[in-house]
Structure 1
């Protein structure tokens, strides 16, 4: 008989981190301590710490498009730096000298920092904004033998490493969800790591190729990354991870409805280099807030099915601190660290 366990981790979106110091300044601005200190950026650079095709890449390019199309900044070039759940990009951000730099981040990075024992942490950067929140979806290839989530999970429990699951980076939202499903099915700690054969990817495009090509038995990712393939019929959706059915996939049951007491949502946001001045942080927050308030950004949210989870300032700092604690505890509970 299937045992379920409550694992509600509605980790609604959030860019990264804790409090940082003030050091670097924009050329031409008054010295630190001057009451009139201000920063003004006409251009920004955007780092996507993942390969093209995934949720972070979609987010970074949507940000760049809205910022430039609406004239909020003149240019916003996007650079992909994939690998290790974003921690390679995070290391690059630490060495970034230009304060007018935004890097996409989110729940995946929080977990990857722990699983990769990263020497650079979110606390070493400057939080700018939490932007979006999104449910995940569990899919199988179109010709898969699995018609229900229960059939898939029970086969993993029975056959272990014979069943392959793919998704984003190790320790990220997709990996956490796979672990939570096995925990809800009655496995614990070491049993989960022993049974779960999870193939991580640096970008969503790689996972899509593995699933459509029948190289794996199942996949997990944000709804936005798999939706078009589900609609085309090259993937079959088994369940979504939100508390309620997803508007984009109204006929797909939630994981809870499928019999497993698990709810998990993924957040995404933007951070900046650590050590930038208060004025520089305020200017980046202004730019991102103007983007958030635009009709173009609201249209992007609707088109991609992202929930609006905008947050900045002290509330963002507190959210990030709590998020790091929650994710670390979850990774320990399901044996991923």
Structure 2
């Protein structure tokens, strides 16, 4: 019917769209028709209707795609937070009409990746959130489905690693930690996240940069950030490594001492040097990305990329980054695809050095 909402209409790029049409406003009552016909003439009245309809069509809002975003992790984690931030901000900015988030956790994101690649082929309305942890998980788990099976769209955010010790530790700076590591790698225990994840890779890169055999490091993997934090605060380990945001409350409270960060430049508000300026050639970013389904057309990929680019430029998304303390590391198109390939190759190298990948 005229004025009804048209659901799941297909736009020029093949994506589902939602829009409102209300040409009923242009209809005239029987009493008005003779009056206008006399004013315009029958032929001109026809032209009046056509012009009015065209003007009304031009005034309608732009088509907005409905998206389903797959977060390949349990609710509450970084990927889930990213997916739900995308959901809220895409809708708030009216870039998308309706956005749903589906959680498919397990195996460092590789279960959700495999399901997404097999079930959403050719679907331009389905997106996947992923990140650097997934790169390591694919390699360490020898996953049959890799990132080659999906369509990368953009890197959205990044978090940098922080190296900390308990405030009661006799280690005052990163140099002293490295001295202990060089003297006896096994005596320096590291607390961090899952084996083969960003934290483990970070510890391995630090050891390698310091001239220490990465296979000799004493890395203790914890299933959750809370467990690792408890171990550090309880002096059960020598040092901890995780994202800066994970440790920030305790750093600000004075219960943890920040030794260094893995960013290329110092983090605003963090009173510590970078690993690089400390003589360790290490820059490590735990980035998060959004990808589309395999088998979509070039036009569909361009349309999705345009939606994402519009979002990241919005004040709404910038406010989300500030609230979440995420770094804006947006990168799209071929530059992102090239960087992704470099990250995969570098990750495979360090995981081999650590001994987690043969």
Structure 1 residue 61, shift from structure 2 partner: 3.0
Report the CA distance shift for 1:257/1:218 in structure 2 as closer, same or farther (over 3 A): same
Task: Tell me, yes or no, if the aligned pair for 1:160 and 1:195 is still in contact at 8 Å.
Answer: yes
Partner of 1:195: 217
> Counterpart of 1:326?
346
- In 2 relative to 1, CA 227–43 (structure 1 residues): closer, same or farther, beyond 3 Å? farther
- Contact 2:79–2:129, Cα closer than 8 Å, also in 1: yes
1:230 is matched with which residue? 251
Structure 1 residue 332: Cα displacement: 2.9
Cα distance, 1:161 vs structure 2: 4.4
Distance in 1 between the 2:233 and 2:68 partners?
A: 34
TM-score by length of 1: 0.77
**Distance 1:51-1:287 versus aligned 2 partners, 3 A rule:** same
Aligned counterparts of 1:136 and 1:106: Cα–Cα separation in 2: 14
Alpha-carbon distance in structure 1 between the residues aligned to 2:74 and 2:256:
21
Q: Hey, what's the Cα distance between the residues in 1 that align with 2:235 and 2:87?
A: 34
Tell me the alpha carbon deviations over residues 42-69 of structure 1, each in whole angstroms, 9 at most, x when there is no partner: 4322233334554434333322221233
- Comparing both chains, which one has the higher relative contact order based on Cα–Cα distances under 8 Å and sequence gaps of 6 or more? 1
Aligned 1:108-147 pairs, distance under 5 A: 108-147=133-172
Partner residue, 1:315: 335
| 1:136-160 Cα deviation digits (max 9, x unpaired) | 1112334444332233344444454
Name structure 1 gaps, 5 residues minimum.
1-25, 31-35
The corresponding residue for 2:72 is 49
The residue aligned with 2:31 is: none
The structure-2 alpha-carbon separation of the partners of 1:196 and 1:68, relative to structure 1 and needing over 3 Å to count, comes to same
Name the residue aligned to 1:182.
Answer: 207
CA contact (8 A) 1:112 1:169 kept: no
2:239 pairs with 184, 195, 218, which one? Answer: 218
**Aligned partner of residue 257 in structure 2, secondary structure:** strand
Paired position in structure 1 for 2:101 = 78
Change in Cα spacing, 1:311 to 1:253, as seen in structure 2 (3 Å) is closer
Contact preservation (8 Å) 1:156, 1:196: no
Distance 1:89 1:290 in 2: 26
Q: In structure 2, how many angstroms separate the alpha carbons of the residues matched to 1:310 and 1:283?
A: 17
Aligned residue among 278, 289, 296 for 1:269: 289
Deviations 1:217-270 (A, max 9, x none): 432222223223322334331111122211131x11222344433222332211
Q: Which stretch shifts more, 147-156 or 100-109?
A: 147-156
Higher helix content, 1 or 2: 2
Can you list the C-alpha shifts for 1:184-234, whole angstroms capped at 9, x where unaligned? 22223xxx2233323153x54554454445554432222223223322334
Unaligned 5+ runs, structure 2: 1-6, 18-64
Provide the secondary structure at the position in 2 that maps to 1:50: coil
Candidates 167, 175, 196, aligned match of 1:150: 175
**Counterpart Cα distance in 2 of 1:208 and 1:66:** 31
Give the alignment's TM-score, normalised by structure 2.
0.73
Cα separation, partners in 2 of 1:210 and 1:53, compared to 1, 3 Å: farther
Aligned partners of 1:37 and 1:279 also within 8 Å: yes
Instruction: Tell me the C-alpha RMSD between the 2 structures.
Output: 2.9
